[in-house]
Every structure is written in structure tokens, then in C-alpha cells.
């Protein structure tokens, strides 16, 4: 059977980008024959500084967001990464397989390390090696993510292939990315060339899953656009990144494609489109926000769910990591 794995970092409040690019789709894969494993990747989050108390809160909040978007811990395995030691262990083994040059080429490293990359954490550089471990510790074959993670997933394939080649085995599967839908790359509301990100310093650049209806409407009203009316098809938005982004968001929220949306708004300006977008955004997000708040009211229950998921995850990852060590020539005498 196919195994699906995906993770989200507890590195701050979740955005509409995280929701449309990833979270929204997770529930759809449940109960369709594949095993679904969803992880709050706290070990990834600490590659940049996290306040410990905030990290705990954010970890529970991401778990709540998974469940609020329909991930059922009775059907999927839901846990936080640091409770399953195999992730860190396999990442170390992969650090000896992956090449330093591969890591320096990652655009996420370049973006996050910025000009002062010598002073970024070693973990930030090795991030993709841990991500490969997250996936391959379960022999997962499919990984639903947003467009921005594509390069990391290619690196996961490279690590699997090099391991198999170096040790003359056919042990790790070559993972397929699942980058699907109309919102695989949601852009910042302030800058159509930057992705919407939870770590963007400007709160106006993103819609947070915890924003209320007024905040959502206000951010959409202030979103950067141009003065032209909307065309009849997506083709006409090629050179209008901000406009294209808003139409794609609308389409992803209503489950249409961009052309279907534009067929209704052709010839209209953003004065008409933005309030309509705010309405569909509030309608889609309000129930999620409400359920997140309900889950967050009982942190002990969230911790219990994560702990149980961690046990289930370790039961799968344990034998795979042991086998990896056998292949590499490590002695196991107990």
C-alpha cells in the first residue's frame, strides 16, 4: 500500500498559504487505501530560533490546525517529530550520504540564511537531510506539499538514490511529490513576487488561520493590485502577478479553476472582486478557526493524541532505521 507523509513547521501562526498549499488537502487522502502520516515538524522549526514556550504553543496549534482541517487521528497517524527519535537518527545517517554542495544550492537555505549565511545554524543548512529522513523513515512514496518544497523533495530522491547506489541495495523508495490544485504557491498580499509566509515581518502580507472576519476583509481590501479590470481568462493575467494570486486564492477556496472564476468577474474591477473574495475566504476559514480554538481549549488532549501518534509512528520507523544501520554495517547486539 502507498504511504503518504507530510509535515508542517510550528514556526509561527499558520497562513492561508499553508492551508491551501498543504493542510486543506490532507484530509482528502485519508481512508483511500494509503496510510496517512502527518507530522508537526518541531525539529525543523528550531533551525531558526524559537522561544521554548512559544514552540510548545505553536506545536499544539499546528496539531489543532491539522485536526480542524479534517485530519482524524483515529485514521491518520498524527504526532510531533521530536517524539520519534528515528527522525533525528536517520537524518544523521543521511548527513553522511548527502553532499554539502547539494545543501548550499537549496533556495530555501539561501532565502533564510540571507547574506549572513556563515552565522546561520548548521541545522538550517542540513534541513533537507532531516526532511528526507522524515519521509524515508516510513518508506513514504507520496508527499503532498506546496510548490516551495519541490526542490527539497528532489533532494530526498537524490539521497534515496545515492544511498541505494552506495550500498548496492534497493531499500529506499523514490518519493513522488504531490503538488496539486490551483494554489500550490500562494503569494504575499503585499508583493506578488514573494510567497505568503508565516515568517514575513509584515502581518498584512498574509492571512493567518487565526484571523477573524474583519482582519481577513481588511487585509484583502488592502492587498496590492493593479487598476485594470479582470479579463475573461487566466491567460490575460500572465503579467499581473498580484491579480493572478487573488484569483487563484478565490478559485482554491471555492474548488473552481481560475477561468471559471473569471467567467463571472470579467470586466469588473477589484472594487467588486475583493469583497467577494473576502466573503469566500471568511466562509472557508471561519469554521477552521472555530474548531482550532475548540481543540486548543484542551492542550492535554492534544498532547495525548500526539503521544499516541508518536508510538504508532515509531512502530513503523523503528524497523526501517534498524535495517538502514544493518545495511551500513553497524553492529546491533541487543
Q: Is 82 in the site for ligand AQP (CB under 6 A)?
A: no
> Is residue 112 among the annotated active site residues?
yes
Choose among 68, 2, 81: nearest CA to 38.
Answer: 81
Q: Is 60 in the site for ligand AQP (CB under 6 A)?
A: no
> Is residue 198 among the annotated active site residues?
yes
Q: Is 198 in the site for ligand AQP (CB under 6 A)?
A: yes
Cβ 149 to ligand AQP shortest distance, Å: 4
Q: Which residue is nearest to ligand AQP (CB)?
A: 21
Nearer residue to ligand AQP within complex by CB, 207 or 217 = 207
Residue 185 to residue 17: CA distance in whole angstroms? 7
Residue 56 to residue 82: CA distance in whole angstroms? 12
Q: Cα angle vertex 312, ends 311, 317, to 5°? A: 95
Is 212 known to sit in a ligand binding site? no
Nearer residue to ligand AQP within complex by CB, 18 or 36 = 18
Over the window 121 to 160, marking each residue x when it contacts ligand AQP by CB under 6 A and - when it does not, the resulting string is ------------------------xx-xx-----------
Q: Is 258 in the site for ligand AQP (CB under 6 A)?
A: no
Residue 242 to residue 240: CA distance in whole angstroms? 6
Is 247 known to sit in a ligand binding site? no
63 to 25, 60, 80, 227: CA distances (angstroms): 15, 5, 8, 40
> Is residue 195 among the annotated active site residues?
yes
Q: Is 332 helix (H, G, I), strand (E, B) or coil?
A: coil
- DSSP-derived secondary structure letter, 20: I
> Using alpha carbons only, how large is the chain's radius of gyration in Å?
21
Q: Which residues bind ligand AQP (CB under 6 A)?
A: 8-9, 11-12, 15, 17-18, 20-22, 145-146, 148-149, 184-186, 195-199
Binding residues for ATP, by number, are 9-11, 17-18, 146-148, 186, 195-199
Amino acid at each position: 500500500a502507498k504511504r503518504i507523509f507530510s509535515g508542517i513547521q510550528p514556526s509561527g501562526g499558520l497562513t492561508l498559504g499553508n492551508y491551501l498549499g498543504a493542510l486543506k488537502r490532507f484530509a482528502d487522502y485519508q481512508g483511500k487505501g494509503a496510510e496517512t502520516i502527518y507530522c508537526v515538524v518541531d525539529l525543523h522549526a528550531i533551525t531558526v530560533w524559537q522561544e521554548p514556550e512559544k514552540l510548545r504553543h505553536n506545536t499544539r496549534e499546528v496539531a489543532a490546525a491539522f485536526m480542524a482541517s479534517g485530519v482524524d487521528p483515529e485514521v491518520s497517524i498524527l504526532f510531533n517529530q521530536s517524539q520519534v527519535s528515528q527522525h533525528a537518527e536517520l537524518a544523521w545517517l543521511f548527513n553522511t550520504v548527502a553532499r554539502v554542495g547539494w545543501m548550499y544550492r537549496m533556495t530555501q537555505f539561501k532565502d533564510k540564511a540571507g547574506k549572513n549565511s556563515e552565522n546561520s545554524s548548521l541545522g538550517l543548512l542540513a534541513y533537507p537531510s532531516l526532511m528526507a529522513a522524515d519521509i524515508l523513515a516510513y518508506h513514504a512514496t507520496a508527499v503532498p506539499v506546496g510548490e516551495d518544497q519541490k526542490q527539497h523533495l528532489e533532494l530526498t530522491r537524490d539521497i534515496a538514490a545515492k544511498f541505494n547506489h552506495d550500498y548496492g541495495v534497493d531499500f529506499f523508495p523514490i518519493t513522488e511529490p504531490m503538488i496539486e490544485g490551483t494554489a500550490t504557491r500562494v503569494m504575499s498580499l503585499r508583493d506578488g513576487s514573494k510567497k505568503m509566509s508565516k515568517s514575513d515581518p509584515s502581518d498584512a502580507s498574509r492571512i493567518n488561520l487565526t484571523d477573524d472576519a474583519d482582519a481577513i476583509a481588511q487585509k484583502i481590501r488592502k492587498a496590492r493590485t493593479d487598476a485594470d479590470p479582470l479579463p475573461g481568462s487566466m491567460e490575460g493575467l500572465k503579467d499581473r502577478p498580484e491579480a493572478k494570486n487573488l484569483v487563484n486564492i478565490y478559485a482554491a477556496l471555492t474548488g473552481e479553476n481560475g477561468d471559471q472564476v473569471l467567467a463571472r468577474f470579467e470586466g469588473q474591477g477589484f472594487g467588486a472582486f475583493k469583497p467577494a473574495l473576502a466573503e469566500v475566504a471568511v466562509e472557508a476559514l471561519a469554521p477552521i478557526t472555530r474548531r482550532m480554538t475548540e481543540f486548543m481549549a484542551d492542550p492535554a488532549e492534544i498532547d495525548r493524541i500526539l503521544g499516541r501518534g508518536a508510538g504508532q509512528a515509531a512502530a513503523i520507523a523503528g524497523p526501517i532505521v534498524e535495517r538502514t544501520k544493518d545495511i551500513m554495517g553497524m553492529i546491533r547486539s541487543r
